[in-house]
Every structure is written in structure tokens, then in C-alpha cells.
Amino acid sequence: MRPGARQAMAHQGHYAGALSRLLAYAADLGIISVVYAAAIAIIQFAINTATPWNVELKNGYVIVIIGQLAWSAVYFGSSWVVYARSPGMSLLGLRIVRSNGSTLDPRHAIIRLIAFPLGFLTLGIGFLGIIFGRAHRAIYDRIAETAAIYDWDAEAA
């Protein structure tokens, strides 16, 4: 067995650390931004080409910002409900489970999605549990009774 496979199996099921969660979130933000920017560009091109109007969509418009927040909610919500992980979490080998270790159900995934903004609205204080807590749980994890764990595919490793 390769050393990487041993290390992956050793961490499987352990609480995900702050750096892993941050990198997964950064990857998700990159995906969200690229897909949304492409969609806005396509919509703008279609309107400018197919109509007599010349539309200039920029990031400063409130409707564009609301659209990006809505797209982010759909992105995270659908991936958490269906797969118990976002694409960024998949890249880093993370998965969301219930705090008791059971599989994440749609109800708790939705609660986590609704509570997710609290990490930001508390000016970052809601994320301190990820850094200092034994279970590395943010405020939204505590509210939704969830935890992020390492879930590498040991066979693939």
C-alpha cells in the first residue's frame, strides 16, 4: 500500500481542519464565480444580439449581486442535499455528516444552508469554532447539528 493511501485511511472519519475547509470553500467560490460570470456574459450577449437594446451588466448592480447570492444558495444547497458535499469539498476529500456521525439528511442540509450566512454576519466570530473547537464546527454546524469530516476514498488512494 502506498504511503498516501495509508495517510488517507488514517484521516478518514476525522473532523476536517480549518485549512482543508478554507481551501474547499475557496474552490467553491472559484467555481461559483466562473459559472456565474459566464452566465451573465451569455445573457448580456444574447440580449445585445437579439434585441435592439444594449445592456451593460456590471458587478455593481444590486440585481446582479442578488443573483449571485441566489446562485450560491442553489449551488451549496443542492450539493449538500444531494451529495452531502460541495464540489470544492469533493476536491479536498471532505463530507458533511450529522454531529452524531450519521448520514446528512435533506432537513439538516437545508438548516445548514439557512444558518451558513451567520458565520459572515457575526464578522467572522461564527467561524472561530472551526479553528479552536475540538470538533472544528462553525456556528452553522452547531445550529444544524452537522460536522465536516475527511472522507477520502481509501481504495482510490
Q: The whole model's pTM is what?
A: 0.83
Helices 106-115, 62-83: crossing angle, 10 deg rounding? 150
- pLDDT tens per residue across span 4-36: 545 544 556 789 999 999 999 999 999 999 999
- pLDDT value at residue 59: 58
143 Cα distance to chain centroid: 17
Q: What is the pLDDT of residues 56-81, one digit of tens each?
A: 776 567 888 899 999 999 999 999 99
**pLDDT at residue 88 greater than cutoff 50:** yes
**Per-residue model confidence (pLDDT) at position 65:** 86
Q: Which residues contact 137 (CB under 8 A, 6 or more apart)?
A: 15, 99, 129, 130, 146, 147, 148
| Nearest-angstrom CA–CA distance, 133 and 150 | 16
